[in-house]
Amino acid sequence: YALVRCFFLLMLSILDTMPGASTGTLVVTDYLNYWGGQRVKPRQEKGAEPVFEPATGRVLCQMVPCGSEEVDESIKSAHSAYRKWSKMAGMERARVMLEAARIIRERREKIAKLEVINNGKSITEALVDIDIAWQCIEYYAGLAGTLAGQHVQLPGGAFAYTRREALGVCVGIGAFNYPFQIASWKSAPALACGNAMVFKPSPMTPVTAVILAEIYKEAGVPDGLFCVVQGGAETGTLLCQHPMVAKVSFTGSVPTGKKVMEMSAKGVKQVTLELGGKSPLLIFKDCELENAVRGALMANFLTQGQVCCNGTRVFVQREILPKFLEEVVKRTKAIAVGDPLLDGTRMGALISKPQLEKALRYVNQAKTEGANVLCGGEPFVPSDPKLKGGYYMSPCVLDNCKDDMTCVKEEIFGPVMSVLPFDAEEEVIQRANNTTFGLASGVFTRDISRAHRVAENLEAGTCFINNYNISPVEVPFGGYKNSGFGRENGQVTIEYYSQLKTVVVEMGDVENYF
């Protein structure tokens, strides 16, 4: 027992340093790959990339990408675990998953702190992300024991039944904006259905997925059931093309999503794609204005605006536009930007210097094209000296926007809200749908008929009515059009991580046809 306890304390040593950690102090030296039930040292240091702490611009660790041998090793480790896990009853899997959820809940503050250091978002947001992660695992643990087929009676006493079976080894490819949460969103339904998963985090946020792997191990999954491989596009390609992989679930940009789909198609692998968005938020004159303003802020400034389903095209009915702008600008100016580990901070740092520069370029281009910057849109330098190298930007509201402006058409992935006036319901629905994206949408109105009518007509995978950017694990999330297909969360996702087998049973003699 003492040896086992020492082993787990050693494994979780980085989490144990979290209570005393502060911005600018942590250096990660632990191995970031994980398979066979343990962290794995990279075969070679070739191609190592620095990982930065967004709040300070300081190097946090080195990310060493996995090569073909390591990818192969991790997938074989996952396949071995899958053979054991898939034979367990759903209730047996559920007990292990509930234990994993409990451990995450117990360590939520430490995991959230590590997430902030690696990702740059505020600690207040990160705590919510970790809570959603354990809730997701708990939710799918509840579904694991309910997986069942059908019995169909056939003529002459014959019958058939269906079996819902696991796919095998699934690959999850995550994004930098919700590192731990996305790893949970992808692994929970996969594991509930009896699959194994090899997960590749974003190369910019490699630190917390391996914590999830250790927690699954501690909870009692077979060694190798949830593996973590580090790397960028090359490693992702190796995963998508591996013959032992049954499915790929990808979260990221549209261009990369298309490549993932193309590579997976060569092996006829199932694919779930959760891609970008340029979602519309429709605010009608009969709305509760205070809630609409809060909704617009939620739709644009969570995680420094780096959220794929953000409602960045804010259409406001002309009669209330001046009042809306006055309120939203006042609130935006008051957003506390700074050290993401301080409880009072509401906006931390963008993920990287290139991402910050890209967002600032979009604001400058918007000005060139005729938009008015009502506030923000500039580099922000916090007063704390240790934060001066961080990737901060003042949250921005753009007015006088037109539908054909670059800032209205393209996903910025930064804290930039574009506000557009509209006059009539039919007109604004047409304009809202005039995009290749279709991830999310929102409407604020007191008219219940209008709310449901607009929700029906908006071409998006989610429509929020009188709220925005809430993500309960019980409801499906995914896109229309170029924003992808397949779903995450909700009961339906079970169908994306399992396959049906039909068994036909003859109770009499075979017909003498020949």
- Please, which residues have CB within 8 angstroms of residue 240's CB and are 6 or more apart in sequence? 171, 248, 260, 263, 264, 267, 269
What does the pLDDT look like over 148-199, one tens digit per residue? 999 999 999 999 999 999 999 999 999 999 999 999 999 999 999 999 999 9
CA distances 368 to 315, 361, 365, Å, are: 21, 10, 5
Residues 6+ apart with CB under 8 A from 295: 281, 283, 311, 442, 444, 464, 466, 467, 468
Hey, is 237 helix, strand or coil?
helix
Predicted pLDDT of residue 427? 98
Q: What is the pLDDT of residue 45?
A: 85
| Domains of the chain in sequence order | 14-275+487-499 (3.40.605.10), 280-470 (3.40.309.10)
Task: Answer yes or no: 274 catalytic.
Answer: yes
d(CA 192, CA 93): 7
Q: What residues contact 432, with CB distance under 8 A and at least 6 apart?
A: 280, 282, 313, 315, 441, 458
* Per-residue pLDDT, 374: 98
Q: Kindly report each contact of residues 122-126 with a partner whose C-beta sits within 8 Å and lies 24 or more positions away, as own/partner.
A: 122/340, 122/345, 122/346, 122/347, 122/348, 123/340, 123/341, 123/342, 123/343, 123/345, 124/343, 124/345, 124/346, 125/302, 125/303, 126/340
Structure confidence at residue 155 (pLDDT): 96
The per-residue DSSP string of 22-40 comes to -TT-----S--EEETTEEE
**CA–CA distance, 480 with 390 (Å, rounded to integer):** 35
pLDDT of residue 1: 43
What are the pLDDT digits (tens) for 2-29?
444 444 444 447 999 999 899 999 999 9
- Backbone φ and ψ for 497, nearest 5 degrees, come out as -120, 20
Q: Which of 217, 162, 164, 207 is nearest to 187 (CA)?
A: 217
pLDDT of residue 38: 98
Active-site residue among 115, 274, 327, 488?
A: 274
Q: Which two tokens stand for residue 42?
A: 């990279």
Cα–Cα distances in angstroms (integers) from residue 312 to residues 22, 63, 395, in the given order: 32, 32, 12
Query: What is the distance between the alpha carbons of residues 216 and 206, in angstroms, rounded to a whole number?
Result: 17
Report helix, strand or coil for 311: coil
Length of the chain: 514
Which portions of the chain are predicted below pLDDT 70? 1-12
φ and ψ of 379, to 5 deg: -60, 140
Q: How far, in whole angstroms, is CA 134 from its chain's centroid?
A: 14
